[in-house]
Structures are given as structure tokens and as C-alpha cells.
Amino acid sequence: MSWDVNKKTTHFGYREVPVSEKANLVGEVFRSVAPKYDLMNDLMSLGLHRLWKRMTISEASLRPGDRVLDVASGTGDLAKAFAKIVGKRGKVIMTDINEAMLSVGRDRLADQGIIGNVDCVQADAENLPFADNYFDCATIAFGLRNVTNKHAALASLYRVLKPGGRLLILEFSHPTLPLINTLYDLYSFHVIPKLGEIITRDRGSYQYLVESIRMHPDQETLKAMMLEAGFEDVDYLNLSGGIVALHKGFKY
């Protein structure tokens, strides 16, 4: 289950590409979709992504004064909610490897007056530029599947968390019922790319997004990866029949 440091290729959707090229290819996808990212999220998930994120916010169990790291923060939905909970004494750092996405998120939060306790840092999840044992909570929502070396990202997240800190991973996963899986496949491969073509004039990026979901580890595999990274009390909650899963683990 360990990442092979000598591995020369990795998956980009269903394609095998050189490891050195994946980050740039993913970057191109998100530079393309950034301007209409929120609209497409609402359309693709029929608004359900808002409920999934509310569950993540609840499970984070934050308190005033906490330090929170939101990795692959995108347009800042979680960061916005976290900033309100931790208050002036707390701190939220939103990161994304993609400057276009981070810029959209930063501008969005600034427009809503949420700037005092939120910092934006362009960063790679595999090598987070933060001190050891610093954050009370770390989250990554719909971003881990785009990371080239997921083992390195999990190790990096573990390092920056305080003892007693917790990691939450919200990600598309594998439906648990055959009927849901069949319907989900039909919707994913026939509707989502077409929506991308109509709304963003970019079918290819949404074809990749659909394929990247299918290539992401299933619930039990991701749980095992978190345990391997050092997290304890790891568990997950299937949402919408397993279309999405919320994994949670602790650093002790």
C-alpha cells in the first residue's frame, strides 16, 4: 500500500501520465473551471455538496481560538464557516496548489468581509509549509483525489497537526448499493461532462473529474492509508449512499 518512490507514471483520470506531469495537468483543469466552479458544484451535485460540507463542519467540532488548516480550499466554503466558529482568537489558513482557485476563494471571502482571521497560502498538500504540531484541525474536501502522492499528503497533514488534532477528508467515494452505483455511473459519464461543455465550454475537464472519482481509493482503502500515516480512531461516514464519504482520524 506504500507509495513507490521509483514509480514513473500515475493516473490522470483513466490516462497514465508521467508523475512529473500530473500536477500541471490538474492545474490546467482547475484554472479552466475556477470561474464557474461554484455554479457547477451546485448543478452537478443538485445542491447536495452544501449538505455534505455542513456535515464536515459539524464533525470538525471546532472551538473559539482553534487553528484550522483547510487544504485544497478552492472557493472557501469550509474556510468561511470555520472562520466564524473560531472567531478573532482563532486562525484559518486556506491553501490550494492552484493560484486561480485560491484567488477566487480569497476574493469571495474578502467580498463577504471575512478577512481578519483567514490567511491564504498557495501550497502543495504533499509538502505543507507549516510548523510541526501547529493545527487543531485539518480538512481537505474534494481535493485528495487530485493529489499525485496521497501517502505523502497524509503524512504532511499528520505532521502539522497537534497531538489530539483531527483530520477530516470529504471526498467522492464508491456507492455501497449496486442500483445507486449504476445510476451514478450513468449520470456521471453522460450528464456531468455535458454540463461542463454547456456551462464552461470545457467538456474535457469534467470528463477528467468524473474519471478521477472512479480512480480514487474506496472507503476501506482510504481508511487503511490514514492508519498507515499514523492516524488513530479512523472511521468514515457514507453520505448519499456512499457517493461521498467523510473520513475522520486523530493524531495522538
User: In the predicted model, what is the mean pLDDT of the chain?
Assistant: 93
Percent of the chain with pLDDT over 70: 98
What CATH code would you report for 29-250? Answer: 3.40.50.150
Evaluate if pTM is beyond 0.85.
yes
Beta carbons within 10 angstroms of residue 134's beta carbon: 17
Please report which confidence band the pLDDT of residue 5 belongs to, taking 50, 70 and 90 as the band edges: low
Whole-angstrom distance, CA of residue 248 vs CA of residue 68: 15
**pLDDT on residue 187:** 93
**pLDDT on residue 4:** 56
**pLDDT on residue 1:** 46
- Sorted by where each begins, the domain ranges of the chain are 29-250
How confident is the model over 6-16, as pLDDT tens digits?
678 998 888 89
DSSP code, position 167? E
Q: What is the mean pLDDT of residues 232-242?
A: 97
Binding site feature residues for S-adenosyl-L-methionine: 75, 96, 124-125
Q: What is the mean pLDDT of residues 108-137?
A: 95
Binding site feature residues: 75, 96, 124-125
Whole-angstrom distance, CA of residue 27 vs CA of residue 184: 26
Q: What is the mean pLDDT of residues 212-233?
A: 96
Whole-angstrom distance, CA of residue 114 vs CA of residue 94: 12
Whole-angstrom distance, CA of residue 147 vs CA of residue 26: 9
